[in-house]
């Protein structure tokens, strides 16, 4: 089975783009509990790249798609929102649906590129993590997954026989 772990970036000093000292410490702590990954992909935002590095991983690539979901999705479902809220926006078939489907395509390709028991780490942003779950497993019980994803939290998607089959929320 293949897995993709998707994590939100760590704590930053707003409005800056870089992690705070507290953010670096949190990412290092979370990284100690993580396994090894065949691929590490982040948003191009400095806080995402720095999170992966503080976790102890070298970034293989950055992907603009996972940097932001844009104003149209924000209008449909303002951040922060729960998994259930993003799933409801997805079901309306508008911008959230379109973006979540694009994310699902990205994660499908990433999963296919991994070795048979491979894994990938993806570091992106609040809202993008939740919409990734919704796009990859739209029939999941999102009410059971709880509130929005905090810094360094995320999800783990399991891939088998050409499709995502399960997801687990990773809380800090």
Alpha-carbon span 18 to 20, nearest angstrom:
6
Confidence (pLDDT) at 86: 98
pTM over 0.75: yes
Task: pLDDT tens for the chain, 172 residues: list them.
Answer: 999 999 999 999 899 999 999 999 999 999 999 999 999 999 999 999 999 999 999 999 999 999 999 999 999 999 999 999 999 999 999 999 999 999 999 999 999 999 999 999 999 999 999 999 999 999 999 999 999 999 999 999 999 999 999 999 999 9
Write the pLDDT tens digit of every residue in 29-71: 999 999 999 999 999 999 999 999 999 999 999 999 999 999 9
CATH code, domain carrying 39: 3.40.50.1240
Number of domains, the chain: 1
Sheet-wide strand order for 39-42: 61-62, 39-42, 119-124, 2-8, 154-160, 163-170
Domain enclosing residue 90, as ranges = 2-170
Confidence (pLDDT) at 18: 97
């Amino acid at each position: 089975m293949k897995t993709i772990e998707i994590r939100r970036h760590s704590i930053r000093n707003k409005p800056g783009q870089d992690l705070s000292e507290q953010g670096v410490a949190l990412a290092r702590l979370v990284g100690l509990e993580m396994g090894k990954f065949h691929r590490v992909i982040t948003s191009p935002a400095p806080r995402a790249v720095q999170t992966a590095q503080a976790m102890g991983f070298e970034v293989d690539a950055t992907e603009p798609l996972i940097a932001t979901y844009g104003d149209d999705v924000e209008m449909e479902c303002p951040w922060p929102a729960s998994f259930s809220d993003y799933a409801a926006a997805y079901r309306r078939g508008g911008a959230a649906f379109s973006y979540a489907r694009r994310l699902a395509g990205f994660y499908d390709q990433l999963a296919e590129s991994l070795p048979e028991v491979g894994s990938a780490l993806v570091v992106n942003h609040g809202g993008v993590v939740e919409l990734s779950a919704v796009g990859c497993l739209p029939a999941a019980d999102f009410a059971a997954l709880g509130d929005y994803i905090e810094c360094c939290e995320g999800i783990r998607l399991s891939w088998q026989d050409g499709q995502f089959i399960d997801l687990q929320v990773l809380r800090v």
